Amino acid sequence: MAKEPRSGKTEPASPLTARQARVPATTAEKPPRRAMTARSLAALLPGVTAPVFRRRSPAGARLLSGWRDIVGPGHAAQTTPQRLSAGTLTIACAGPVAMELQHHAALLIERINTWSGEKLVTRLRFVQDPTAGQPTRKTTPSRAPRQTVSLPTLPEGPLREALEALGASLRHERSDKKSQV
């Protein structure tokens, strides 16, 4: 058999053939692909919580909220935990108290780590703050008695009570806003 000489050029494919190559024949059978698919809540949470946890870790928040239970009422009355960062807990306290706490640093670190259940704190840093440990007094403005809201069309029950309480609360908030303006 004789071979035909090759010219090195290929014949262009017809447009119909190229289109058929791009689009599979089963396209009509498949439903269109969804742009947004259902995702689990666990897959979405890290993206939402990461910025918040960068600012304040959940372990640090637990430590701040349970400070009185961890160090005891004596130290809690004189100190305030301020920040937990990279294993260093910053504690605000008055000058003389800081000296005392430096002597008890190993014990405090042990108590904190035992309470949290993990090695959360490796170092303590003390910052002088004469107001540390003193509770701030919140001044509450005198409040007028709340106006009641009645819903006679609803039957008696917990739903009616909840809606009446909600209505009274909203009415009270609106009257507070009007009196401030």
Against a cut of 0.85, is the pTM above it?
no
166 assigned to some structural domain: yes
Instruction: Kindly tell me if the per-residue pLDDT of 157 is higher than 60.
Output: yes
Does residue 155 surpass a pLDDT of 80? Answer: yes
Asked if pLDDT for residue 140 goes beyond 60, the answer is no
Is 115 within a domain? yes
- Same domain? 55 vs 118: yes
On whether both 51 and 115 belong to a single domain, the answer is yes
The one-letter amino acid code at 138 reads K
Domain assignment present for residue 96? The answer is yes
Of 32-36, 38-42, 113-117, 124-128, the least confident: 32-36
Per-residue 3-state assignment (H helix, E strand, C coil) for 76-133 = HCCEEEEEEECCEEEEEECHHHHHHHHHCHHHHHHHHHHHHCCCCCCEEEEEECCCCC
Co-location of 106 and 177 in the same domain: no
Residues 50 and 120 in one domain: yes
Give the pLDDT mean for 125-144.
64
Q: Verify that 154 and 123 share a domain, yes or no.
A: no
pLDDT tens per residue, range 47-106: 776 666 566 566 777 777 788 888 888 888 888 888 887 888 888 887 788 888 888 889
**CATH number where 84 lies:** 3.30.300
Range(s) of the domain holding residue 156: 148-181
**Structurally, how many domains does the chain consist of?**
2
Q: Report helix, strand or coil for 72.
A: coil
Q: What share of the chain is helix, strand, coil (3-state, %, to 5)?
A: 45, 10, 45
If asked whether residues 118 and 152 sit together in one domain, one would say: no
**What is the mean pLDDT of the segment spanning 18-45?**
65
| 119, pLDDT greater than 80 | yes
Do the Cβ atoms of 133 and 78 come closer than 8 Å? yes
